[in-house]
Structure 1
Amino acid sequence: MNKTKYIHQKGLFAGMCFTFLFAIAGYSLSFVPGFDRLGPLASAILLAIIFRQIFGYPELFRKGITFSSKYLLRFAIILYGLKLNIDVILQEGVDLLVKGLVIIVLAISLTLIFAKLFKANTNISLLLGIGTGVCGAAAIAATAPIIKSKDEDTAISVGIIALVGTIFSIIYALILPFLPISNDQYGIWSGLSLHELAHVALAAEPAGEEALAIALLAKLGRVFLLVPLCFILILWVKNRKNVDNGNRSQVTFPWFLIGFIGMSLFGSYVLGRHIPMSQNLMDGISLITTFILTSAMVGLGLNVSLKDVKEKALRPLLAMLITSVIVSVLMFWIAGI
């Protein structure tokens, strides 16, 4: 092995370890009261952003950090497919699937409309609309490479979606005793309107196991729709004309989506049916998936410069907040019918 290759591999490994350390720190911070509402992803990104502002970007680890933010991110999305039980959705959640489709179209459209009114950053607004409509950080992470989002914009979007989703889920849990709907209806409302799986679980758990089950089913229907949404985005980017030279923009096919679909099919029709899997093992895989995704988010967070955040983030945040309120109110009415 020549010296140049050795140095490259050493830098790659060291950079990956660097993101792993931040991921561990993010997990640790997520157990602290207050931060436990944000979760490990947002906590790790916050630590990475603070590190960048104080110490600058760690150039020594750039190769490994870039590897984490690109390739580990895709690997985490592939593993995330195991969370999606296609069989259950198609058998029991077709009605919720249709409602989920309405939510996704509504969330993306409204966010972009408000973003245009507020003259907000279009890229961040699109990511926030996708995160609001589909499944939060995971949807943002899956679609960011397709629309060629900058790492900084992706990290800002993930941070915003985690914060807003957490606030909404806490509000849901607090007002639950005063709502004029049944626990099952509350579960449907939570699953159809909240941003991430974790937010849905946080909000629906106080309503009981049945409410939590139907809430997660409603949410997983929206996760299922991430796949067709990604293909629609691929076509949109591919056919979007370059303003400067009139040529069509090129887009690399996100092959990790095939892995996501494959893992979804494997988890839905093989695991549990032909290959026995204990719940502890499934929980372990879920933990590993979240850890890998958290490590990838560290790489994104290290690319955030706070000098640009105020200008870039506040207006998209406002557009997303208004959209989230509209979606929540509309889904509350639908769930109560």
Structure 2
Amino acid sequence: MGKSDGRIESETPPAPREARHRSATFVAALPGLAVALVVAGAAALLGQLAPIIGGPVFGILLGVLAAAGIRPLRAERMTAGYRAAGTFVLQASIVVLGTGLSLGEVARVGATSLPVMLGTLAVALGGAALAGRALGLDADTRTLIGVGTGICGASAIAAASAAIKPKDSDVAYAIGTIFTFNIAAVLLFPPLGHLLGLSAHSFGLWSGTAVNDTSSVVAAAESYGGGASSYAIVVKLTRSLMIIPIVTALVALRTKREQAAEGGTRSRLPWRRMVPAFIIGFVLAAALDTVGAVPASWHPGLSALGTFLVTIALAGIGLNLRISEMRKAGARPLLLGGVLWAAVGLTSLGLQAVTGTL
């Protein structure tokens, strides 16, 4: 008893060893997480001063500039924290943002807006694959710009990044592209809507399906007036639900490619690998809001928390990014974003005309 081959067993039990490993990993991540938190705080303040740009965009921008200008921030010991911000904090942000999505509102709005939402999403994803390949962009960059344009800007990019684990430079390309066309939409959509003679309801559907980030949807719809913003926001939140099937599909595709690369057989994927935990959390959070378990008075605070967590995550990605990596792609990501932005906007108007909602 207690012996094997004449030797006393002295191996450390697996559970304590794993616990120590997790603890050491957490401690190693603290310095980088602290820096990301400070950068995110500054970005959030700037985001309040310039809400059209928003804290998340400032987060990745300040992160890149801080890492480029302050040498100690590029130290190897900081990397673990930056990566933790870009993964675990990113996933937590998606769960928190789910508390602002009522599935009851989704059902009410979906009856009239679903054809337009699905059509614009198909154009965004299909266009990203075809045009992005023609421009010579890698698959992750194409995917991130496509989901950012077709679903909900930075939040969709965050969710897709957590699923496919792209390079930090790919995330930066996508965020920069989405930011550029958010500003363009806020400036151009309201006068174009008036020129086309759109009703407040039609403009709300147009901006809700064709403008990227929620903040830009609100800005454009408020500028248009006539109560367009209330419908635009609900459409935008409903559109955000498309994150679930898209991210699930991305995880399944990535897992199958990894299996193929390892030379393994393509066995049936367990649902735990196909459906990430943060997506399950997102759905549960939305379900809690739907049944009234999340008080309405909590919504502003939870929305602010979710946005700040996204800002921390993008600050971490920016801190881990090197400007030299971004120069290689040049203007091609921006060109792809422009093509998709125009195609989605025109598709939304065309489908509204066909379905009688214009």
Structure 1 length-normalised TM: 0.88
Partner of 1:73: 90
Query: Following TM superposition, by how much is the alpha carbon of 1:276 offset from its aligned partner in structure 2, in angstroms?
Result: 4.2
The amino acid of 2:187's aligned partner reads I
Q: Is the 8 A contact 1:75 1:256 kept in 2?
A: yes
How far apart, CA to CA, are the structure 1 residues paired with 2:170 and 2:199?
39
CA pair 190-277 structure 1, distance change in 2 beyond 3 A: closer
1:321 maps onto 2:338 in alignment: yes
1:212 and 2:229 are equivalent in the alignment: yes
Hey, what does 1:142 align to over in structure 2? 159
Query: By how many angstroms is 1:72 displaced?
Result: 0.9
1:236 positional shift: 2.3
Structure 1 122/63 Cα, relative in aligned 2: closer, same or farther at 3 Å?
closer
Aligned pairs for 1:90-239 (under 5 A) are 90-208=107-225, 210-239=227-256
**TM superposition shift of 1:212:** 1.0
Listed one character per residue, the Cα deviations across residues 280-324 of structure 1 (whole Å, up to 9, x for unaligned) are: x32111111111110111111112222121222521221121111
Separation in 2 of the partners of 1:13 and 1:306?
A: 24
Give the equivalent residue in structure 1 for 2:292. 270
The TM-score normalised by the length of structure 2 is 0.83
Asked if the contact 1:192–1:218 (Cα under 8 Å) also holds between the matched residues in 2, the reply is yes
The count of aligned residue pairs is 328
d(CA) in 1 for partners of 2:91, 2:241: 17
CA distance, structure 2, for counterparts of residue 111 and residue 306 of structure 1: 24
Contact 2:177 2:337 in 1 (8 A): no
Which residue number corresponds to residue 15 of structure 2?
none
CA contact (8 A) 1:27 1:43 kept: yes
- What is the RMSD of the two structures over their aligned residues, measured on CA atoms? 2.6
Say if 1:244 and 1:230 are closer, same or farther in 2 by CA, change over 3 A: closer
Q: Deviations over 1:209-251 (max 9, x none)?
A: 6311211122122111211112222232233377766546896
Is the Cα–Cα contact under 8 Å of residues 121 and 313 in structure 1 kept in the other structure?
no
Bigger mean CA deviation after superposition, 70-79 or 164-173: 164-173
Look up the match of 1:46: 61
* Structure 2 unpaired stretches of 5+: 1-20
Q: Which range moved further: 55-64 or 204-213? A: 55-64
Percentage identity across paired residues of the two chains? 24
Unaligned runs of 5+ in 1: none
Q: What SS is found at the alignment partner of 1:79? A: helix
C-alpha displacement at 1:167, in angstroms?
A: 2.0
Looking at structure 1, the residues matched to 70 and 292 of structure 2 have their Cα atoms a distance apart, in angstroms, of 48
CA gap of 1:85–1:61, structure 2 versus 1, over 3 A, is same
CA displacement at 1:206 relative to structure 2: 2.2
Q: Is the 8 A contact 1:45 1:159 kept in 2?
A: no
1:95 to 1:240, Cα distance in 2 relative to 1, 3 A:
farther
Following superposition, the deviation at residue 277 of structure 1 comes to 3.6
The 1:36–1:277 alpha-carbon spacing in structure 2 relative to 1, beyond 3 Å, is closer
User: Is the Cα contact below 8 Å between 1:78 and 1:259 reproduced in 2?
Assistant: yes
- The more displaced of 306-315 and 290-299 is 306-315
Alignment match, 2:14: none
> What's the CA shift for 1:78?
0.5
Change in CA separation of 1:239 and 1:15 when aligned onto 2, cut-off 3 Å: closer
Q: Which residue of 1 aligns with 2:350?
A: 333
Distance 2:262 2:47 in 1: 47
Paired with 1:123 and 1:276, the residues of 2 have a C-alpha distance of 38
1:291 — aligned with what?
308
- 2:52 is aligned with 1:37: yes
